[in-house]
Structure 1
Amino acid sequence: MAAFFITGTDTDAGKTLVTAGLLALANHQGLTTLGLKPVASGCHRQAEGLRNDDALMLQARSHPEIDYKTVNPFAYAPAIAPHLAARQAGETLRVTLLADAMADAVALKRDLTLIEGAGGWRVPLNDDEDLSDLATALQLPVILVVGLRLGCINHARLTAEAIVAQGLPLAGWVANGISSDFDELDDNLSTLSHYLSAPCLGRIPHLTEEPSDTHPECAARHLKLPEIP
């Protein structure tokens, strides 16, 4: 079994698309899978409780099936930073709480378990802890999703440096096309490959024509799985 933490260069870099795409690819190869999103804001209320679209996308591609609470144990309605959403709900997010929830899920020992963060690498959980501290607590290798936009080289380099500075391996990175008109694409990808000391796990083009609920399967065609021990 193998577990990885998925982070991005920023909000909307494409973490969920890449996470779900990797799960879809692993499922196609006959592996058991589990996608987790420990904390999510911007959730909508259903009869069963608060639900997050990104977490539902990961749940749908986790095989064997898994309950929603395991996938997303901390869910909040406001579409704001998680620590602010938790504060509005009268709660305080702690690394120990998230780590305990994720440790129980990882203990299911699926062939591939992916834990998706929120926003970028240093999104706060509280006044003293960041979501990156969860990856450190679980000692997980990290996959970095680079949203291809102006400024992504700087954001990718800074994020990669921060990951390594926290003592975690960068297991790979994925270039995600979030726009159809990104200038000098090939040169930017070449520059990213030069500076990021990890394998590129894929380049996802800007997906516009297919229905959004099939985007992970479309993305899977452009991805390769990280090295699984």
Structure 2
Amino acid sequence: MKKTFFVTATDTDAGKTYVTVGLLKAAHRAGLRSLGLKPIAAGAERVDGALRNDDALLIQAASSVRLPYEQINPVVLEPAIAPHIAAAQENRLITVSRLEGFLKGALLTPYDFAIVEGAGGWRVPLNDRELLSGLAKNLNFPVVLVVNMKLGCLNHAMLSAEAILRDGLNIAGWVANGGQDSMPCYEENLQSLTNMLPAPLLGTLTWHASPADGDDEFDQILSKL
């Protein structure tokens, strides 16, 4: 049976791509055809004349299902700023329906395990009237929430979870990304979130010098999805 998830986070640079890539690789180790998609990305450089986003390239490399970059990341914006502002600067209109069409086309490719990675947090504007959360709502995939374990994360995490549930989506679980060095009273904050968030804790992660160092952690998270 196919499993598809939408990965979001409490804020920008919280570790969405770290989690996405780790889970895609874990799925591949488990013998599953894995596919990662990042429908919109802001912050890119030109490679052989074409814009490429680093996170999208990592997702493409981690996917065992091979697709052209343009299907992995159909909307790529050069400046590393809010997507709707970057799009306005380029006189482009990015809509939920357009992104949904791109994704549905890519997801026609046979796969067993797929992740759609969002941009920034849950309520990221796409244009003056639409939010990226509208895309997640239309897709109706279970959501994995990545919590950036730092001062302020309790508020960010609980508000994000409330918004996801208000949009009618299921939270498959949350991942604590950080460690003892990332915030004071880490264990106490972790326990508070475990008690208060309306979703199971899938796992706790720390940043590793080598990506392979976290393989066991991601294998365990995958087993809970």
TM-score (norm: length of structure 2): 0.94
- Which residue type is aligned with residue 57 of structure 2? L
**Structure 1 CA distance for aligned equivalents of residues 200 and 29 of structure 2:** 22
Shift of 1:141: 1.0
Instruction: Measure how far apart 1:206 and its partner are.
Output: 3.2
Does the 8 Å contact 1:172/1:226 carry over to 2?
no
User: Residue 32 in 1 paired to residue 33 in 2?
Assistant: yes
C-alpha change, 1:38 and 1:31, in structure 2 (3 Å) is same
Are the structure 2 counterparts of residues 105 and 179 from structure 1 closer, same or farther at C-alpha, using a change threshold of 3 Å?
farther
Partner of 1:219: 214
Corresponding pairs, count: 222
Q: 1:72 to 1:170 in 2, by over 3 A?
A: same
Greater CA drift, 104-113 or 121-130: 104-113
1:7–1:119: 8 Å Cα contact kept in structure 2? yes
- Find the aligned partners of 1:167 and 1:181 in 2 and give their Cα distance: 32
2:97 and 2:215 map into 1 onto residues whose CA distance is 33
Shift of 1:109: 3.6
Q: Deviations over 1:188-228 (max 9, x none)?
A: 11111111122222111133x33xxxx3x433321311655
2: distance between equivalents of 1:71 and 1:179? 34
Paired residue type of 2:222: L
Quick one: distance in 2 between partners of 1:90 and 1:179?
A: 44
Q: For structure 2, list consecutive stretches of 5 or more residues without a partner in the other structure.
A: none
Deviation of the 1:163 alpha carbon:
0.1
Q: Give the SS at the match of 1:118.
A: coil
Contact 2:7 2:20 in 1 (8 A): yes
Could you tell me which runs of 5 or more consecutive residues in structure 1 were left unpaired when the two chains were aligned.
Answer: none
Alignment partner, residue 198 of structure 1: 199
Match in the other structure for 1:167? 168
Task: Map Cα deviations across residues 38-77 of structure 1 (whole Å, 9 max, x no partner).
Answer: 0011100011510000000000011132210110000011
Q: Which residue of 2 aligns with 1:140?
A: 141
CA 1:7–1:92: 2 relative to 1, 3 Å: same
Q: How far, CA to CA, are the matches of 1:124 and 1:91 in structure 2?
A: 14
**Match of 2:168, as an amino acid?**
G
Please identify runs of 4+ aligned residues in structure 1 that moved more than 6 A.
Answer: none
CA gap of 1:132–1:220, structure 2 versus 1, over 3 A, is: farther
Q: Match for residue 116 of structure 1? A: 117
Deviations 1:72-99 (A, max 9, x none): 0000111111111111111011000000
Q: Indicate if the aligned counterparts of 1:14 and 1:178 stay in contact, CA closer than 8 A.
A: no
Partner AA of 2:215 in structure 1 = A
Cα distance between partner residues in 2 of 1:218 and 1:133 = 35
Amino acid aligned to 1:222: E
- Percent of aligned pairs sharing the same letter: 47
SS of alignment partner, residue 222 of structure 2:
coil
How far apart in 1 are the matches of 2:65 and 2:108? 14
User: Considering only aligned residues, what root-mean-square deviation do their CA atoms show, in Å?
Assistant: 1.5
Query: Does the 8 Å CA contact 1:13/1:178 hold for their aligned counterparts?
Result: no
Q: Within 5 Å, give how 1:1-229 maps onto structure 2.
A: 1-47=2-48, 49-177=50-178, 180-207=181-208, 209-210=209-210, 215=211, 217-223=212-218, 224-225=221-222
In 2: Cα distance, 1:227 partner to 1:182 partner: 26
Give 1:119 shift.
Answer: 0.5
